[in-house]
C-alpha cells in the first residue's frame, strides 16, 4: 500500500525530487550567510509539496531549528483564522523545536512551555517571567501588538543566543487559509516588518493556490507585502519516466502492458496523490492493459479521487454552481459565467476569487477553466452514473 497522506516514515516512501530539493536548499542555505531568502512554494493539489518540505526539514543541518505550521488545521476548527491563533501555533512550534535540542536550551524550555500554556486567545496576561532572550513578555490582556513582537522576534533571538545554532527554518503550510485572517494584507506586512530585520531565519509559505490567486498578489505581488522579493518555486507533477521509475521502486509487483502504463499515466497525470490511490486499488495478480486500467479507473474513481470528495463536501452552493458550469463547458469567459450561473457581478467576483484561492480554477486568455482535470472527470462520471452532479 502507498500512503495517501504524508507518512511518519518519510524516507520509506519519498522518491526523487532531487532537483527540487537542490533548488529549495540553495535558497534556504542563505540563512548561513546572514542573507536569508523567503520562499513561496506552489504547485497543483496532490503534487507532494508538503511531503517534499517535510523531507527537507527532516534532512536539514542538525544545528538548524525547524518549525512546521499547518494553517488548514487552524481554519478547520472554526472556519476562520485569527492572527493570535497563527502566532500561538508558531510559538508552540518553536517550543517543540527547543525541546528537540533539550541539552542546548534546557534553561529556557520550561519558560517557553509555560508561555505556550498561558497564550490563549485574547488573554496574554503572562506574568511568570519578565523576558526571554531580552524580549519583553506581554503582560497586558488583549495586547496583540506585544504578543506579535514577542513571537516574531523570538526565532532570531534564539539563533543569536547560542553559537551551536546556525539558523531557523519556519514553514507555513496551506498558507492560502491566511486569506481568512481579518486583515490579510496587514498580517503579511507584519511578517515582513520583522523578517527584514532577521539574518538567519527562512520563512517558507506553501499551498495549493492558482498562480493568479489574489493571495499570491497580496503576499508577493508588486504591491504586496514582499513586493516580488520572495523566491517562488513551482513543484511539478512526475514526468512519465519518473512515474515509471517510481512504480518500479515502490510497487514493483504491479504489472502493466505498454499501453496499460500509458493509460495509467494519462489517468493520474503524474500527480503522486492520484498515482498512490490508483495503485492501492489495483491487483498485483493481474497484468493491466489499457482496457483494464480504464475499467478500474471508472469502477474505483471515488477512492482514487478521495481528496476531491472532501473538498467538494466543503464547497458552498455558489462555488459548486460555477464548477458545474465549467464542467459542462471546457472554458468560459466572465460574461459566459454570468449568463450560465445567473449570479450578479459582485457574487461571481467573490466566488471566483474563492475558487482561485483554493487552486480549483485557472485563468488564461480571459477564460476560466478547471485547474485539475481529475475533478472534471469525476464530476462527469458521477453525473453519467447518477443522472446528476453530486450535491
Per-domain residue ranges of the chain:
17-102+151-234, 240-304, 311-386
Q: Determine the Cα–Cα distance for residues 251 and 214; give it in Å rounded to an integer.
A: 40
Pick the CATH number of 240-304 from 1.10.3430, 1.10.8, 1.20.1330, 3.40.50: 1.10.8
- Predicted pLDDT at 358: 86
- Predicted pLDDT at 210: 76
Residue 311 near residue 358, CB atoms below 8 Å: yes
Q: Determine the Cα–Cα distance for residues 20 and 192; give it in Å rounded to an integer.
A: 25
CA dihedral (246, 252, 257, 263) in degrees, to 10, reads -40
330 backbone dihedrals φ, ψ, rounded to 5° = -65, -40
- Predicted pLDDT at 122: 45
Provide the pairing of β-strand 201-206 with 361-364: unpaired
- Which three cell numbers mark 309? 470528495
Residue-wise burial string across 368-380, b where 16 or more C-beta atoms lie within 10 A, e elsewhere: bbbbbebbbbbbe
Distance of CA 275 to CAs 266, 281, 301, Å?
Answer: 11, 10, 12
Determine the CATH number of domain 311-386.
1.10.10.10
**Beta strand spans in 27-186 (E):** 39-42, 64-70, 131-132, 135-136, 167-173
Q: Determine the Cα–Cα distance for residues 330 and 387; give it in Å rounded to an integer.
A: 20
Cβ burial, residue 311 (10 Å; 0-12/13-18/19+): middle
Closest to 160 measured CA to CA, from 198, 108, 117: 198
Residue 276 near residue 3, CB atoms below 8 Å: yes
Contacts (Cβ under 8 Å, ≥6 apart) of 136: 130, 146, 149, 150
Determine the CATH number of domain 17-102+151-234.
3.40.50.300
The 3-state DSSP class for residue 233 equals strand
CA dihedral over 149, 54, 181, 124, signed as positive or negative: negative
Closest to 230 measured CA to CA, from 241, 239, 240, 221: 221
Q: Determine the Cα–Cα distance for residues 171 and 352; give it in Å rounded to an integer.
A: 27
Half-sphere exposure of 305 (CA within 13 A, CB side): 24
Q: Determine the Cα–Cα distance for residues 314 and 329; give it in Å rounded to an integer.
A: 23
Residue 194 near residue 347, CB atoms below 8 Å: no
Helix axes 373-386, 306-313, angle to 10 degrees: 80
Residue with cell string 519519498 = 14
Predicted TM-score (pTM) above 0.85: yes
Residue 157: count other Cβ atoms within 10 Å of its Cβ. Answer: 16
Residues lower than pLDDT 50 in the chain: 120-122, 124-130, 132, 138, 140-141
Closest to 381 measured CA to CA, from 265, 293, 306, 297: 297
- Predicted pLDDT at 130: 47
Amino acid at each position: 500500500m502507498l500512503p495517501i497522506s504524508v507518512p511518519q516514515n518519510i524516507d520509506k516512501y519519498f522518491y526523487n525530487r532531487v532537483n527540487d530539493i537542490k533548488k529549495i536548499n540553495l535558497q534556504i542555505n542563505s540563512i548561513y550567510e546572514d542573507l536569508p531568502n523567503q520562499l513561496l512554494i506552489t504547485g497543483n493539489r496532490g503534487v507532494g509539496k508538503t511531503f517534499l518540505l517535510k523531507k527537507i526539514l527532516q534532512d536539514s543541518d542538525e544545528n538548524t531549528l525547524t518549525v512546521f505550521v499547518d494553517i488548514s488545521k487552524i481554519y478547520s476548527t472554526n472556519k476562520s483564522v485569527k492572527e493570535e491563533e497563527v502566532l500561538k501555533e508558531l510559538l508552540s512550534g518553536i517550543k517543540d523545536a527547543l525541546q528537540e535540542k533539550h541539552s542546548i536550551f534546557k534553561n529556557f524550555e520550561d519558560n517557553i512551555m509555560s508561555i505556550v500554556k498561558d497564550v490563549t486567545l485574547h488573554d496574554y496576561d503572562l506574568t511568570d517571567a519578565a523576558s526571554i532572550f531580552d524580549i519583553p513578555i506581554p503582560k497586558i490582556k488583549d495586547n496583540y501588538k506585544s504578543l506579535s513582537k514577542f513571537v516574531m522576534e523570538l526565532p532570531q533571538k534564539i539563533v543569536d543566543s547560542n553559537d551551536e545554532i546556525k539558523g531557523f527554518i519556519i514553514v507555513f503550510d496551506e498558507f492560502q487559509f491566511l486569506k481568512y485572517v481579518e486583515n490579510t494584507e496587514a498580517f503579511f506586512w507584519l511578517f515582513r516588518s520583522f523578517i527584514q530585520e532577521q539574518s538567519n531565519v527562512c520563512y517558507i509559505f506553501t499551498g495549493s493556490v492558482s498562480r493568479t490567486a489574489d493571495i499570491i498578489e497580496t503576499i508577493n505581488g508588486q504591491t504586496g507585502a514582499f513586493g516580488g522579493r520572495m523566491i517562488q518555486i513551482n513543484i511539478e507533477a512526475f514526468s512519465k519516466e519518473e512515474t515509471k521509475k517510481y512504480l518500479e521502486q515502490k510497487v514493483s509487483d504491479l504489472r502493466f502492458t505498454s499501453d496499460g502504463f500509458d493509460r495509467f499515466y494519462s489517468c493520474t497525470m503524474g500527480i503522486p496523490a492520484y498515482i498512490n490511490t490508483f495503485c492501492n486499488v489495483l491487483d498485483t495478480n493481474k497484468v493491466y492493459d489499457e482496457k483494464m486500467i480504464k475499467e478500474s479507473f471508472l469502477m474505483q474513481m471515488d477512492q482514487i479521487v478521495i481528496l476531491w470528495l472532501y473538498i467538494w463536501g466543503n464547497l458552498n452552493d455558489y462555488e459548486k454552481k460555477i464548477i458545474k458550469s465549467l464542467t459542462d463547458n471546457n472554458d468560459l469567459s466572465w460574461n459566459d459565467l454570468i449568463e450560465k450561473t445567473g449570479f450578479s457581478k459582485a457574487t461571481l467576483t467573490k466566488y471566483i476569487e474563492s475558487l482561485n484561492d483554493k487552486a480549483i480554477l485557472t485563468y488564461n486568455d480571459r477564460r476560466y477553466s478547471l485547474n485539475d482535470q481529475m475533478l472534471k472527470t469525476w464530476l462527469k462520471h458521477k453525473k453519467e452514473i447518477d443522472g446528476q452532479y453530486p450535491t
